[in-house]
Amino acid sequence: METTIDQLVRNNAWDKHHEAVKAPKCLVIGSFNPDIPSNSRLPFYYCRKPKRGQGNRLWTELNKALSIKESCRENEFARLEAMKRGKFIFMDLIDSVSISSTNSEHTKLYLENQIASFSDKAIWSNKSKGISIYRTYNNRIFDIIEKYRRSLQYVVFTLGPSGLNPLIRKNRHGSLSKRDSQWRQFYSQLVDKCNAIDTLTLVEKTCSPAPQGKCSDEELRVWLKKYVLHEV
């Protein structure tokens, strides 16, 4: 049995927010927002309501940095104001995830217990206990970079907790580049695309605003101000 989960943005109007931001300077790339029932009410990137604790810190810190009173995580107009003032836009790195197994129950459980928990380990694996995972990457990212090539200064990632390291460098987790030819091709194209634009920097230093991310509050503030809000 094979099941394919698309990214949530494909069935929503999230990308239309790009049009409201004139001459964006930063493209923020997350990993994957799965289009599944438990995620259906998510209004926008990084807006998942925490079950406990403070949850994802991106909008909370942007609220403070831009002195916006209304909660950006909860208020669409506040989010748009932040994006317009900060001149940043968002996209997801993964377009879809396909899960296959000879056991349909295994496929269902992996979807419900792993993908639905937004586990990076589950999303970035190739195999797991009889489950095969295949990712399709978001080639629309290249179109957006081309569209805003005159204004974009940074392309950044919010992947975590290990960031890009397991994806492009060999470490104790291995390297995705050695296991996934589609990723190797995609990332190589992304590097080439950014390097072809003199005024654009692909920032390999990631900072995850997620609760499980290893980025401290202070590190996140510095990273956001330098790259997302481009403050020197």
Q: How confident is the model at residue 93 (pLDDT cuts 50, 70, 90)?
A: very high
Q: What is the mean pLDDT of the chain?
A: 84
User: pLDDT at position 174, please?
Assistant: 44
- Mean pLDDT of all residues in 83-90: 96
- Mean pLDDT of all residues in 142-164: 87
- Mean pLDDT of all residues in 63-70: 96
161 preceded by cis ω (within 30°)?
yes
User: pLDDT at position 167, please?
Assistant: 60
Task: Work out the widest C-alpha separation in the chain, in whole angstroms.
Answer: 54
Least confident of 29-38, 41-50, 144-153, 158-167: 158-167
Q: What is the CATH number of domain 2-228?
A: 3.40.470.10
| Percent of the chain clearing pLDDT 90 (strictly above) | 46
User: pLDDT at position 2, please?
Assistant: 80
Domain boundaries, the chain: 2-228
Q: Around 77, how many Cα atoms within 13 Å sit in the side-chain half-sphere?
A: 2
Return the DSSP state at 162. S
Higher pLDDT, 64 or 183: 64
